[in-house]
Amino acid sequence: MKLRKVLALLLVVNMMIVSFAACAPKNKPQPDNGKGNVTDQTPDKNEGKELEGSLITEKPTKFTIFLNFNNMPFNPEWRVWQEIAKRTNISLEGVISQSNSNEQEAFNLMVSSGKLADIIGYVDASELEKLGRDGGILPLNDLIKEHAPNIQAALDRDERFRQTAVSLDGNIYQIPKNQELITAEFWWIRQDWLTKLGLEVPKTVDDLYNVLTAFRNEDPNGNGQKDEIPLFDRAGHKMPDEYLYLWDTSLEFYPRNGKMTFEPMEENFKTGVQNIVKWYKEGLIDPEIFTRGPKARDILLSGNLGGVTHDWPSAGNYNTTLTETIPGFEMVAFAPPADQHGVVKERTARYPGVGWSISSQCKDPVTVIKFMDYFFTEEGSDLVNWGIEGETYVVNPDGTKSYTDVVMNSDQTPIGYLRSLGVQYRIGMEQNPAYEYAFMTPAAKAATELYEENREWFEKDMPPYLDGALALKYTPEDEAEYKKIMSSIRPYVNEKFQSWMLGTTDFNAEYDSFIAELKTRGIEKAIEINQRAYETFLGK
Ligand code: CA
């Protein structure tokens, strides 16, 4: 703890140096970033002059980049980045050594050295924004408006992309990596069990109760034992409240019609917990949901025991892998069951992620923003989504694209192979949905199409809702107070929920005192802080 404080203080001191450097007069030489002799950043004097093809500068130009995605520091040797350099005249030089896999350590080291790379990408967007507010990163708003029409078009077209890009102070400090697909998790059910018992796919939460009860009592796996686990989840150890979503509630904050609520204080919560307690008691929910851990899905599906779950597209892979051991095995995705009010809703979703920024030490930000814009053109987007035409993909007669055998049948996974060429790196870009469809199993594809076609199931104006919790941006003061309050409330709520579900204590008897305790611990203040952060998110 002490060490952390010392480090934090060091960081602050160094940030001040960075800020100071950023304010230095423009004609004063900026600190050399150690790569000075390999960078040729003569500002583009050819403004307005037509360059051939996709060239961004007349002469080959090099910029430094700090980026380390999935333990892969940026590598200029990657096939696709060689091609990008050839087409644009812009090449990048990574500043993180290829043997360094600790992204956080490398970032802190760079920031504290005061020598920033021209382009910076980092896993934590709030750290980038902080660096931006301290003067280490350029606000990109005007640069985009003036020089990046394709990024501007994406900001205008896609509200979620814009909300991710714009920071708390209204500045854009990073170009996010956009995700065009919204879908994350789906409801999955053993279709072969339904067929065997003569049941329909459940449409409502009451139907689901009946189906789970039949799975429990009617031996769909046919071994003569009452061993089925009707409802299970491999994330139960960290999000045991996920099935409260069936009654449109959770243990978390959730906005409704512009107003922030803490769901345990709302009416749906009573209905939800009363039902969850009942389902658990009746053996419809995995008795080991709190403890079984991330292998729950493998164990329960390969054991022919699990019936229904809420999970990612990969849940469809078992149709292929279990086809021989469990004849007839078939998982299918179905629509979220309508809740007690008849509303169909899917809470899990994907959100745009962190991309890249331009540091205040970059001598030619105009060229860099033009380069960043290239990845939002069709040509640039294809390169970072699909790779190189004729090598990694082909364009079919109907205009769709397919990966070549080189990608699909390498000794790595297709995505692993593509990443080894620098494709789908963590830069500011738009992830093309077709790229993901190209890898999916038929069941995963059907699941994704079903949910993507029903965007009305997804709440509008939702801030990122990651692992069941809102990810809002706070001012430093609000953040400190919020964290303090919630560090007392979260463990209390989790402990109470678990004891109700396990039947250790009685929910109805305890509810009023539970609410009183939340108030004592400051929940109303926490709601107020979240309301403010939510309004900022909405751009109010
Ligand atoms: Ca059985």
Above 70 in pLDDT, residue 189?
yes
**CA 380 to centroid of ligand 1, rounded, Å:** 54
**CA 340 to centroid of ligand 1, rounded, Å:** 30
Q: Tens digit of pLDDT for each residue in 289-339?
A: 999 999 999 999 999 999 999 999 889 989 999 999 999 999 999 999 999
**CA 311 to centroid of ligand 1, rounded, Å:** 23
**CA 428 to centroid of ligand 1, rounded, Å:** 50
Above 90 in pLDDT, residue 464?
no
Above 80 in pLDDT, residue 100?
no
**162-166, 209-213, 411-415, 509-513: least confident range:** 411-415
Q: CA separation (Å) from 401 to 81, 389, 475, 476?
A: 20, 9, 45, 46
Asked whether the beta carbons of 254 and 470 are under 8 A apart, the reply is yes
**CA 329 to centroid of ligand 1, rounded, Å:** 15
Above 60 in pLDDT, residue 124?
yes
Give pTM, 2 decimals: 0.81
> Residue 475: what pLDDT?
87
> Residue 49: what pLDDT?
64
**CA 477 to centroid of ligand 1, rounded, Å:** 55
How many Å apart are CA 272 and CA 275, to the nearest integer?
A: 5
Label residue 71 by pLDDT band (50, 70, 90).
Answer: confident
Q: Which residue has the tokens 């164990």?
A: 299
> Residue 372: what pLDDT?
98
Tokens coding 204: 């409502």
How many Å apart are CA 306 and CA 111, to the nearest integer?
A: 49
**CA 228 to centroid of ligand 1, rounded, Å:** 5
Amino acid at 439: F
**CA 188 to centroid of ligand 1, rounded, Å:** 19
**CA 306 to centroid of ligand 1, rounded, Å:** 10
**CA 510 to centroid of ligand 1, rounded, Å:** 36
More confident residue, 416 or 224: 224
**CA 54 to centroid of ligand 1, rounded, Å:** 63
> Residue 41: what pLDDT?
52
> Residue 8: what pLDDT?
46
**CA 305 to centroid of ligand 1, rounded, Å:** 7
Tokens coding 349: 């979703």
Label residue 32 by pLDDT band (50, 70, 90).
Answer: very low
Label residue 25 by pLDDT band (50, 70, 90).
Answer: very low
Mean predicted lDDT score pLDDT of the chain? 90
User: What's the whole-number mean pLDDT along residues 210-224?
Assistant: 98
**CA 221 to centroid of ligand 1, rounded, Å:** 5
Q: Which residue has the tokens 């738009």?
A: 430
**CA 234 to centroid of ligand 1, rounded, Å:** 21
Domains of the chain: 2-181+353-387 (3.40.190.10), 470-538 (no CATH)
**CA 215 to centroid of ligand 1, rounded, Å:** 9
For residue 254, which phi and psi values (nearest 5 degrees)?
-160, 130
**CA 192 to centroid of ligand 1, rounded, Å:** 14
**CA 229 to centroid of ligand 1, rounded, Å:** 9
**CA 263 to centroid of ligand 1, rounded, Å:** 37
> Percent of the chain, pLDDT > 90?
77
**CA 335 to centroid of ligand 1, rounded, Å:** 26
**CA 238 to centroid of ligand 1, rounded, Å:** 28
Q: DSSP letter string over 417-470?
A: HHHTTTTT-SSSEEE-HHHHHTT--HHHHHHHHHHHT-GGGSPTTPPPEETTEE
**CA 220 to centroid of ligand 1, rounded, Å:** 6
**43-57, 311-325, 492-506: least confident range:** 43-57
Q: Tens digit of pLDDT for each residue in 5-19?
A: 444 444 444 444 444
Q: DSSP letter string over 141-170?
A: HHHHHHH-HHHHHHHHH-HHHHHHHB-TTS
**11-25, 155-169, 191-205, 212-226: least confident range:** 11-25
**CA 361 to centroid of ligand 1, rounded, Å:** 66
**CA 216 to centroid of ligand 1, rounded, Å:** 8
**CA 218 to centroid of ligand 1, rounded, Å:** 8
**CA 514 to centroid of ligand 1, rounded, Å:** 39
Neighbours of ion ligand 1 (CB under 5 A): 219, 221, 223, 225, 227
- Angle (nearest 5°) at CA 15 between 13 and 19: 120
How many Å apart are CA 434 and CA 423, to the nearest integer?
A: 14
Q: What dihedral angle (degrees, nearest 10) is formed by the CA atoms of 434, 437, 438, 440? A: 170
How many Å apart are CA 59 and CA 54, to the nearest integer?
A: 13
> For the chain, how many residues are written?
540
